[in-house]
Amino acid sequence: MKRLKSIDDFKALQGLIIADRDPSISTIVIPAGTCGQASGANDLMRITKRELLAKGLTDKIHLRITGCHGFCEMEPSVLIEPQGTFYPKVSIEDMVRIVEAIEKGEVLEDLFFVDPETGVAVEKQDDIPFFKKQVRTILARNERVDPIRIHNYIESGGYSALAGVLTNGKPKWVVEQVKSSGLRGRGGAGFSTGLKWEMLAGQSNGHGKFLVCNADEGDPGAYMDRSVLEGNPHSIIEGMIIGAYGTGATEGVVYVRNEYPLAIKHLVIALGQARGLGLLSDDILGTGFSFDIKIVRGAGAFVCGEETALIRSIEGKMGEPRQRPPFPVQKGIDGRPTAINNVETWANIPIIIGDGAQQFAKIGTKGNSGTKIFSLVGKIKNTGLVEVPMGITIGEIVYDIGGGPVDKAKIKAVQTGGPSGGCIPAQKFDLPIDYDSLIEAGSIMGSGGMIVMDENTCMVDVAKYFMNFLKDESCGKCLTCRKGTQRMYEILDDISKGQATLEHLELLEELAEVVKDTTMCGLGQTAPNPVLSTIRYFHDEYIEHIKNKRCPAGVCKELITYFINENCTGCMVCLRDCPEGAITGEKKELHVIDPSKCIKCGVCKSVCKFDAVDVN
Amino acid sequence: MINLTINSLNVSVEEGTTLLEAARFLGFHIPTLCYMDGLSPYGACRLCVVEIGEGPKAKLVSSCTYPAEMGLNVRTASSRVRRARKMILELLLASCPQSKTIQDLAAAHDVRQQRFKQEYEDCILCGLCVRMCEEQMMAKAIGFRGRGENRSIGTPFDITSDVCRQCGGCMYVCPACQLRCTYTEPEKAVCGGCANLSPPCLQKEQFDDMMCYMDPCVACEIKKD
């Protein structure tokens, strides 16, 4: 790669790359993020390459390996461009057929996605209900870009926003644009990004300033940041360079979890390519403006996603929050001004600068502009990443995009915002998703985890699960957070075992309020949310556990018994599978579970084909 | 100078003064456990919380770490603050009931009982000993380890530290076993069940004779069973 010496050089290169490409050539797009690779995308890649080489089709059919497109439930999937044909759950044999079909200019109708509601086969990706309702400004870029090829990114318009800024943008204009776009921090707190940048720009530049990309995504079940970092690392880099130009920052840091090896790998490659082309480090595109980015790998502490703890971790100290003020923009890494933004926030910057702030502000609602990626998981048909405009209702995400419940059990609630978030009941599904209304409902936006729960989920158990997570992940500095989460877990555990009284429930609420009030950092202040929101919306379930010693969802082991009803045909499957030998019975006769031996593992219920095992 | 109000009284303080210092300057008592003059404030025990801000934006902050800001309206004993302090003391009593310091604080704040499952721990992780060792004794022999419920104080790998001079500073500042070293006359040292603190950097046998007047130590006796 030749280093680009000026903005004109860059424009010439971009023109060359675009002219070089023939958009009519069919391209096989295989999403191979971590999720895709886990479900078999690597095999598809290998087979496709072999087929194309063996048949000498490399000129006629192109192959592009990209990051995750979002429809993780249907992976490994294949997208054929330019037609937009989508094949879900592709096997190795199917892949060979697909290559053949493309060669002949045909489509394989038997492999199409079938809408489970209507039973109709859908050819195009854009017609699938899962994609139809989304506004995919960020995720759609994942489709167009091979993360380890910078030319791919440049071809799709990448680094144009940076070139534009460097040509005629004043730093003040950049900050003004971001401010007027109304972009709010996607990490969860929702602080205005433009305001944060303005504060950083206003700090004196004596010893340098830092920009940080916070990729320490730790919420259970959330992986938006990973997908963006894996699928489009250059958009983060471009966003950070633009940010540095606007705020006068001199150094950048991407703080990424070590549990994201693919993201780190792609980022390292992308940084190397950007440096090689002269888009990063000294004298960017010959303009005299310098900025470089380094990677710091986190060691897996949830609390290091908190700004001040993250700064300490970058400094090489123990990851533990400190008092704000002074805020990081005043005193951050090594005492120098630092602005920290989430991965998704950075990914939005090139879009805002490229398309214009006004265009960006049109998406979403007033005060909550733009799109937000959620990772939709749990008891729902279409799990995956969904990108929706702010202000869409929870119901639309769950039913229209998510496709509703997996089986007969009704959806009861969604949990948003990770361990610090809260549960929102089905009655409130018409709630628009934005920072403010979620807080009002007792939850938070968080970084975008969305866990769907149905009637087989016990809310006490959910609260207990998150509290167990938090008591391990609290840094332990503040007494109220360390001991508070431990004690809340203790009481929840008692409730789930039927050993608690109504006084315990009162104490739990009282304690939760105090922990929320008195803890220093965001982790502790939001830690009681799972408890408070479940008590608020599912008080009956708590009472049922405490007064009647009953778990309505049939989850809390101490409060349930398994028994076999008259549907039993005596097939002996459960008898054979019971790990404790607790089931007795003869062939073709009603079986019986011995409650003294039963460990309530639920194996019998899951293997029974006749609905003969009940939980009481 | 920064002007602020504390419990409706106006006060001017120098920049960099903490709310705790400002309140104490005016004579308002704020209880603390992890704060000590001469050591950097840490904000771990949360006992010193005060209420700042107005209306829905009112919040509690630890006064030992929060810097005085222009125009701030501080309440050191509002009902919200008192409720929080009581709960914190209840949590402390539930974990570390043998500390005389904590018992006294609890009594002073009208906490007569605690409603959690009783534990008998030695350390409240206030970090005074760590800061004493680092900032006053320039040794850095002990530090925090682990996080969440596994957090503890000690040396790396529990190996006796080379830099420890056995000054006993850590024990001197410990609120869980203060009585051990602060009283000079043995008969006055009423045992609060001294929590049996033994930083692993110290060879404990040497300290038994040197520091503790209680023989046998009540807390040690409890521990042995």
The answer to whether A386 and A73 are in contact (CB under 8 A) is no
Report the Cα–Cα distance between both ends of chain A, in Å, rounded: 68
CA distances from A110 to A42, A97, A508, A509 (A): 23, 11, 55, 55
Lowest mean pLDDT among A184-198, A279-293, A573-587, B156-170: B156-170
Which of A322, A480, A503 comes nearest B88 by C-beta? Answer: A480
A482 CA: distance to closest CA in chain B (Å): 6
Query: In this predicted model, what pLDDT tens digit does every residue of A149-187 receive, in sequence order?
Result: 999 999 999 999 999 999 988 999 999 999 999 999 998
Query: In this predicted model, what pLDDT tens digit does every residue of B80-97 receive, in sequence order?
Result: 999 999 999 999 999 888
Chain-wide mean pLDDT for chain A?
Answer: 93
More confident residue, B168 or A323: A323
Closest CA to A221 of A448, A526, A555: A448
Q: How far apart are CA A188 and CA A217, in angstroms?
A: 11
> What contacts B66, CB < 8 A, 6 or more positions away?
A323, A325, B18, B19, B50, B52
Which backbone phi and psi does B200 adopt, to 5 degrees? -65, -10
Query: In this predicted model, what pLDDT tens digit does every residue of A270-316 receive, in sequence order?
Result: 999 999 999 999 999 999 999 999 999 998 899 999 999 999 999 99
HSE (CB half, 13 Å, CA atoms) of A468?
A: 9
Lowest mean pLDDT among A266-275, A386-395, A401-410: A401-410
Query: In this predicted model, what pLDDT tens digit does every residue of A12-56 receive, in sequence order?
Result: 999 999 999 888 999 999 999 999 999 999 999 999 999 999 999
Tell me which chain A residues have a C-beta less than 8 angstroms from the C-beta of B143: 318
> CATH topology for A561-615?
Alpha-Beta Plaits (3.30.70)
Q: How many CB atoms lie within 10 A of CB B178?
A: 19
- At residue A91, the pLDDT reads 95
Structure tokens at B170: 């850590």
**CB contact (8 A) between residue B115 and residue A471:** no
- At residue A545, the pLDDT reads 96
Tell me which chain A residues have a C-beta less than 8 angstroms from the C-beta of B95: 483
The answer to whether A418 and A529 are in contact (CB under 8 A) is no
Chain B's closest residue to A480, CA to CA, is: B88
Q: Does B148 touch chain A (CB under 8 A)?
A: yes
Residue recorded with tokens 């939850």: A443
- At residue B201, the pLDDT reads 42
Closest CA to A142 of A395, A396, A391, A384: A384
Chain B's closest residue to A304, CA to CA, is: B147
**CB contact (8 A) between residue B88 and residue A490:** no
Tell me which chain A residues have a C-beta less than 8 angstroms from the C-beta of B42: 477
> CATH topology for A25-127?
Glutaredoxin (3.40.30)
**CB contact (8 A) between residue A301 and residue B80:** no
Which backbone phi and psi does A33 adopt, to 5 degrees? -75, -170
- At residue A395, the pLDDT reads 94
Q: Which of A318, A320, A322, A323 to mutate to test the interface with B (most CBs of B within 10 A)?
A: A323
Q: What is the ipTM of this complex?
A: 0.91
* pLDDT score of B16 more than 50: yes
- At residue A294, the pLDDT reads 96
Which of A301, A514, A520 comes nearest B87 by C-beta? Answer: A514
- At residue B205, the pLDDT reads 53
**DSSP-derived 3-state class of residue B182:** helix
Chain-wide mean pLDDT for chain B?
Answer: 81
Query: In this predicted model, what pLDDT tens digit does every residue of A230-279 receive, in sequence order?
Result: 999 999 999 999 999 999 999 999 999 999 999 999 999 999 999 999 99
* pLDDT score of B198 more than 50: no
Which class does domain A459-547 fall in? mainly alpha
Q: Does B69 touch chain A (CB under 8 A)?
A: yes
Domain ranges of chain A: 25-127, 158-361, 365-454, 459-547, 561-615
Closest CA to A545 of A454, A463, A428: A463
More confident residue, A357 or A1: A357
Closest CA to A469 of A508, A520, A420: A420
Which of A474, A476, A510 comes nearest B87 by C-beta? Answer: A510
* pLDDT score of A221 more than 90: no
Domains of chain B: 2-108 (3.10.20.740), 128-224 (3.30.70)
Q: Does A497 touch chain B (CB under 8 A)?
A: no
- At residue A187, the pLDDT reads 86
Tell me which chain B residues have a C-beta less than 8 angstroms from the C-beta of A484: 91
B153 CA: distance to closest CA in chain A (Å): 11
**Residue pairs spanning A and B at CB distance below 8 A:** 102
Which of A301, A320, A517 comes nearest B60 by C-beta? Answer: A517
B130-145: buried (b, 16+ CB within 10 Å) or exposed (e) per residue? Answer: bbbbbeebebebbbbb
**CB contact (8 A) between residue A476 and residue B148:** yes
> Which band of pLDDT confidence, cut at 50, 70 and 90, is reported for residue B177?
low
DSSP one-letter string for A448-481: SEEEEEETTS-HHHHHHHHHHHHHHHS-S-SHHH
- At residue B215, the pLDDT reads 46
Lowest mean pLDDT among A434-448, A500-514, B155-169: B155-169
Helix (H) or strand (E) holding A373: strand A371-378
- At residue B161, the pLDDT reads 79
Task: Please state the rounded mean pLDDT for residues B31-50.
Answer: 95
Tell me which chain B residues have a C-beta less than 8 angstroms from the C-beta of A473: 147-148
* pLDDT score of B195 more than 70: no
* pLDDT score of A387 more than 80: yes
- At residue A480, the pLDDT reads 96
- At residue A408, the pLDDT reads 85
B195 CA: distance to closest CA in chain A (Å): 18
DSSP one-letter string for A528-547: THHHHHHHHH-HHHHHHHHH
Tell me which chain A residues have a C-beta less than 8 angstroms from the C-beta of B43: 322-323, 477-478, 520
Task: Please state the rounded mean pLDDT for residues A497-516.
Answer: 96
Which of A320, A325, A518 comes nearest B84 by C-beta? Answer: A518
Q: How far apart are CA A290 and CA A154, in angstroms?
A: 20
**DSSP-derived 3-state class of residue A302:** helix
Cross-strand pairs, A212: A253, A340
> CATH topology for A365-454?
Ubiquitin-like (UB roll) (3.10.20)
Which class does domain A158-361 fall in? alpha beta
- At residue B217, the pLDDT reads 47
Interface of A with B in 509-568 (CB under 8 A): 510-511, 514, 517-520
> Which band of pLDDT confidence, cut at 50, 70 and 90, is reported for residue B202?
very low
Which of A322, A326, A476 comes nearest B125 by C-beta? Answer: A476
Which of A475, A507, A518 comes nearest B88 by C-beta? Answer: A518
What is the length of chain B? 225
- At residue B13, the pLDDT reads 95
